Amino acid sequence: MKAPGKQMELKDNLFNRALFGDDFKWGVSTAAYQIEGGHDAHGKGPSVWDVFTAKSGAIPSGHHGNTACDFYNTYPQDIAVLKELGIPNFRFSLSWSRIIPAGTGEVNEHGIDFYNRVIDTCLANGIEPWVTLYHWDLPHELDLKGGWANREVVEWFKEFVQVCAKAFGDRVKYWMVMNEPMVFTGAGYFLGLHAPGKKGLNNFLPAVHHAVLAMAEGGRTLRSLLPDAQIGTTFSCSHIEPYTSGRKDVVAARRVDALLNRLFIEPILGMGYPEEDLPVAKKLKKYMKPGDSGLMQFDFDFIGIQNYTREIVKHSIFVPYLNAVLVKAENRKVPLTAMGWEIYPPAIYHMLKKYAEYENMPKLYITENGVAFPDTAVGGKVNDPERIHYIKSHLRQVLRAKEEGVDVQGYFVWTLLDNFEWAEGYHPRFGLVHVDFETQQRIIKSSGHWYKAFLNG
Ligand code: BGC
């Protein structure tokens, strides 16, 4: 164990926002499919998530996002809550098929109008909108043409980015091209657990390469249309440790680290795919065309890091290509979240340090960090001290990295509202605000009140 940084000794009442500096950005993050609902409202086309969740058995609980938190209708009240809590930055994503129902071609003015209203309501309340262009809800029509496994997706995505930049670029200064490409390609194109439910390397590898190309192309498109915008993209990352110090576990951990933490950022930084530590990445060559190495790169203004936990990795001969398995947190006698993830705050410190080590790494923001617990409402109140503790202990680790020189300039809690947690449905509650999904009633949890006090303290 490393020696704790000096802020670790700070008493609770001295741990405050000012320690992070005046320019540090504080916010909350959300995603369109998880909160909006309005799945077929006013000309919206279906996305892969609308279609996937309608398939019997695709999501174990049978839940779907047809209504979700009804943010499509409740956005004025929800933005009022942001204001009440004093949260200055709001990250949300745009639903591609709400804006371009078939993914390419005709634009749905009602979709543009909805996001105009969301952006304008934020600005009228002194809240800075941070827009993610793609948070996993590919238009279904594009999936029928192969989705992310079809190279044409790069052009379709570029068209979507152009439409959004032209519609919203006069007011939106902060853009994130993609959310966690590793998760939507891994869970959606290899494991089949997320939409569109595809499996195997023949889906996964082309999806990876096209997501890298689209991310870079999205960055170039934004930069050419909005030269003054701050342009970023976001990556999931988990701190990886080997189960033992034996060579096989160490090498297995390196492979998993290359897959989960390096596969997307390294080509973007101009380093190519991490083939040496992840031999299966050599198969990506099959999908590369001349000139792609250059097209995979883009000089982002910032990188968003999204961290929730750490993983322990063991060598295994039963997992093809990777020869590694994750040792489940539930078998490790460690504190767990409602997702079954280990609560391990130093993970976020290690990830910040790891990303900061890359040459040419731009400034970093923590664009997601948060936790799910069961959170029940009792007498109109939701008391969630474990979430307050989780966020505080992670913030201490962010500060530790910052004090050691990492250029981290912001922190966004995942998330504002309890919402549709993908394959897990509505059970895991990640919000600072409790949602009763029957009545759509909101209750600010004690963690929401704590965040307010912290931000205003
Ligand atoms: C995603 C969110 C998700 C959260 C918690 C991130 O991987 O960006 O959409 O809800 O983690 O699982």
Distance 248 CA to ligand 1 centre (A): 31
Domain 33-456 has CATH 1.10.3720.10: no
Q: Indicate if 368 belongs to the active site.
A: yes
Catalytic residue among 180, 266, 311, 342: 180
Atom of ligand 1 nearest to the CA of 372: 5
Residue whose tokens read 């990777």? 322
Pairwise CA distance, residues 148 & 141, whole Å: 12
Crossing angle between the packed helical segments 109-124 and 71-85, to the nearest 10 degrees: 10
> Can you read off the two tokens belonging to residue 436?
């009763």
Q: What are phi and psi of 197, to 5 degrees?
A: 80, 25
Ligand 1 centroid – CA 418 distance (Å): 12
- At 9 the pLDDT is 52
Residue 388: CB atoms within 10 Å: 19
Ligand 1 pocket: which of 35, 311, 351, 422 to mutate (most atoms within 8 A of CB): 422
* Residue 13 pLDDT grade (very low, low, confident, very high; cuts 50, 70, 90): confident
> Could you report the per-residue pLDDT of 378-437, keeping only the tens digit for each?
999 999 999 999 999 999 999 999 999 999 999 999 999 999 999 999 999 999 999 999
Percent of the chain whose predicted confidence (pLDDT) is above 90: 97
Our answer on whether the CB atom of 337 is closer than 6 Å to any ligand 1 atom is no
Distances (CA, A) of 274 to 278, 283, 299, 314: 6, 12, 19, 20
In the predicted model, what is the mean pLDDT of residues 102-114? 99
Where does residue 180 fall: left (phi above 0), alpha (psi -120 to 50 degrees), or beta otherwise? left
Distance 217 CA to ligand 1 centre (A): 24
10 Å Cβ neighbour count for 306?
23
pLDDT band at 10 (very low <50, low <70, confident <90, very high): low
pLDDT at 1: 42
Question: Using a 6 Å cutoff on CB, does residue 423 contact ligand 1?
Answer: no
* C-beta separation of 27 from 365 below 8 A: no
Mean pLDDT, to the nearest integer, of 233-244? 98
Nearest protein CA to atom 9 of ligand 1, as residue: 31
- Ligand 1: does its nearest atom lie under 6 Å from the Cβ of 236? yes
Angle, vertex CA 191, rays to CA 53 and CA 176, nearest 5: 75
Which residue in this structure is represented by tokens 């297995």? Answer: 252
Identified catalytic residue from 141, 311, 368, 421:
368
pLDDT of residue 330: 98
Q: Provide mean pLDDT across the span 110-129.
A: 99
Residue to mutate (ligand 1; options 368, 369, 424; most atoms within 8 A of CB): 368
**The token pair that represents 257 in the structure block:** 């680290």
Cross-strand pairs, 214:
none
pLDDT for the residue numbered 313 = 98
**Mean pLDDT score across all residues of the chain:** 97
Per-residue pLDDT of 200-212, as tens digits, reads 999 999 999 999 9
Q: How confident is the model at residue 72 (pLDDT cuts 50, 70, 90)?
A: very high
Protein residue with least CA distance to atom 3, ligand 1: 421
Residue 2 has pLDDT above 50, yes or no: no
C-alpha 181 to ligand 1 mean position (Å):
12
Q: Tell me how long the chain is.
A: 457
Of all protein residues, whose CA lies closest to atom 5 belonging to ligand 1? 421
Q: Is the per-residue pLDDT at 8 higher than 60? A: no
Query: What would the mean pLDDT of 241-264 be, rounded to a whole number?
Result: 98
Q: Give the position, in ligand 1's atom list, of the atom nearest the Cα of 234.
A: 8
* Ligand 1 centre distance from Cα of residue 91 (Å): 13
Task: Give the residue-averaged pLDDT of 157-167.
Answer: 99
Q: Where are the domains of the chain?
A: 33-456
Instruction: Give the separation between CA 348 and CA 365, rounded to whole angstroms.
Output: 12
Residue 7 scores a pLDDT above 50: no
- Judge whether 180 counts as a catalytic residue: yes
**Quick one: which atom of ligand 1 is closest to the CA of 414?**
4
pLDDT > 80? residue 371? yes
Q: Is the CB of 31 under 6 A from ligand 1?
A: yes
Q: What is the pTM of this model?
A: 0.97
Q: Is 311 a pocket residue for ligand 1 (Cβ < 6 Å)?
A: no
Cβ of residue 179 lying under 6 Å from some atom of ligand 1? yes
Asked if 189 contacts 204 with a C-beta cutoff of 8 angstroms, the reply is: yes
Please count the other Cβ atoms lying within 10 Å of the Cβ belonging to residue 449.
14
Three-state SS sequence of the chain: CCCCCHHHHCCHHHCCHHHHCCCCEEEEECCHHHHCCCCCHHHCCCEHHHHHHHCCCCCCCCCCCCCCCCHHHHHHHHHHHHHHHCCCEEEEECCHHHHCCCCCCCCCHHHHHHHHHHHHHHHHCCCEEEEEEECCCCEHHHHCCCHHHCCCHHHHHHHHHHHHHHHHCCCCCEEEEEECHHHHHHHHHCECCCCCCCECHHHHHHHHHHHHHHHHHHHHHHHHHCCCCEEEEEEEEEEEEECCCCHHHHHHHHHHHHHHHHCCHHHHCCCCCCCCCCHHHHHHHHHCCCCHHHHCCCCCCEEEEEEEEEEEEEECCCCCCCCEEECCHHHCCCCECCCCCECCCHHHHHHHHHHHCCCCCCEEEEEEECCCECCCCECCECCCHHHHHHHHHHHHHHHHHHHCCCCEEEEEEECCECCCCHHHCCCCECCCEEEECCCCEEEECHHHHHHHHHHHC
117 CA distance to ligand 1 middle (Å): 25
pLDDT digits (tens, 9 = 90+) for 259-293: 999 999 999 999 999 999 999 999 999 999 999 99
Which of 414, 417, 419, 429 has most ligand 1 atoms within 8 Å of its beta carbon, as the pocket-test mutant? Answer: 414
180 Cβ closer than 6 Å to some ligand 1 atom: yes
User: Which residues lie across from 178 on neighbouring strands?
Assistant: 134
Residue 236 CA: distances (Å) to CA of 180, 418, 421: 5, 20, 16
Residue 48 has pLDDT above 50, yes or no: yes
How many other C-beta atoms lie within 10 A of the C-beta of residue 12?
7
Instruction: Please tell me if the CB atom of residue 418 comes closer than 6 angstroms to any atom of ligand 1.
Output: no
Checking if the pLDDT of 3 tops 50, the result is: no
